Amino acid sequence: MKGSRLAFAIFLAPVAAWLFLLIVLPHVDLLLMSLRGKDELGERVWTLANYMNFFTEPVYWLTFVRTALYAVITTAITFCIAMPVSFYIAKVARPRVQGALMVLLLLPFWVSELVRVYGWMILLRESGVLNFFLMKLGLTQKPVEMLYTDAAMILGLVYTSMLFMVVPLVSVMDSLDDSLIEAAYDLGAGKWTIWRTIIIPHCKPGITSGAIVVFMLTLGNYLTPNLMGGKNSLWFTEQIYNQFIASFNWNQGSAFGFLLLALSSLIIWLGLKLSRQKLGEVAS
C-alpha cells in the first residue's frame, strides 16, 4: 500500500511541479501585479483602480462586449457546420474512411495558426485567388474587398476552431446506438424529428464541451482578429496587448487579463445553467 502511494507521488510530482511553475506561479504574479498602482506621489500602492478603469472607460467594456458577441456567433456557426460533418464521419462513412477523414481534419493543424491565417489572406485579398477567378469568369469588373472585414474575421475564427468542435461531437456520436435511429425511421419519424429528439439530446455533452472550448479559444484569440479583421475590428485581446507592449502598463494589462478570465468564466457558467448541465458531466 505504501509502495503504491510512493509510486503515485513520484508520478504526480513532475505534473504538479509543471502546473505550479508554469501556470499557478505566473498567474499569481500577474494577479499581484494587477492590484498594484501608483498614488499621486508616484509611490506604489495596493489598489483596484486597474480593474475600475475597465468599467469607467466605455471603450474597454464595449470592446469586451463586442468580442464576446462575436465569440458566441463564431461558436454557433462552428456548431452548425461541425454537426453534420461529425455525423457523417461517425455514422455514415465506412470505418476505413473514418480514419482518413479525421486525418484530413487534423492536417491543417499540423502547421502554425499564422500559416493557416495567411493562407486565407492569400485567398481573400484583392489580388488573391478568389478575386482572380471572379474577374476571369466575368462575375465582377473589379476586385471585391473581402479581407479586413468582420465576415472575413469570423470565417478565420471558425476555420481555426472547427477541429475543437468536431472531435467531441464525433466522440459522443460514436456511442449513439444506431438502432434508435432505425427504430425512429420505422415509426415514421422525419429527419428533423430524429435530429431534434434523438441525435442532438444524445450529443448534448459533446456540444457543450465543444462550445466551451471554441468560445474560450475565440475569445482569447489575438492573431486571427488582428490579421483578418483589420484596424476597425476591435478585439479585447488587442487591448491587453496594447497595455503590455504599446503602453508598457503591465499592471493594467494584468487586470484586463484577469477580467477576461473572470467574465468568460461567468459567461460559461451562465451557459451551463441555461443548458442545465454540470461542468463535471461535460468534462467527462
Q: Which residues pair with 36 in a beta bridge?
A: 46
CATH 2.30.110.10 fits 45-283, yes or no: no
At residue 46, φ and ψ (nearest 5 deg) are -85, 130
H helices present in 20-90, as ranges = 25-34, 49-56, 58-87
What does pTM read for this prediction?
A: 0.88
At residue 38, φ and ψ (nearest 5 deg) are -125, 140
Q: Whose CA is closest to 252, among 45, 36, 24?
A: 36
DSSP H/E element including 91: none
pLDDT in tens, the chain (284 residues): 566 777 777 788 888 888 888 888 988 998 999 999 877 767 788 889 999 999 998 999 999 999 999 999 999 999 999 999 999 999 888 888 888 898 888 888 888 888 899 989 888 888 888 888 888 888 888 888 888 888 999 999 999 999 999 999 999 999 888 888 888 888 888 888 989 899 999 999 899 999 999 999 999 999 999 889 877 678 999 999 999 988 889 999 999 999 998 989 898 888 888 777 776 666 55
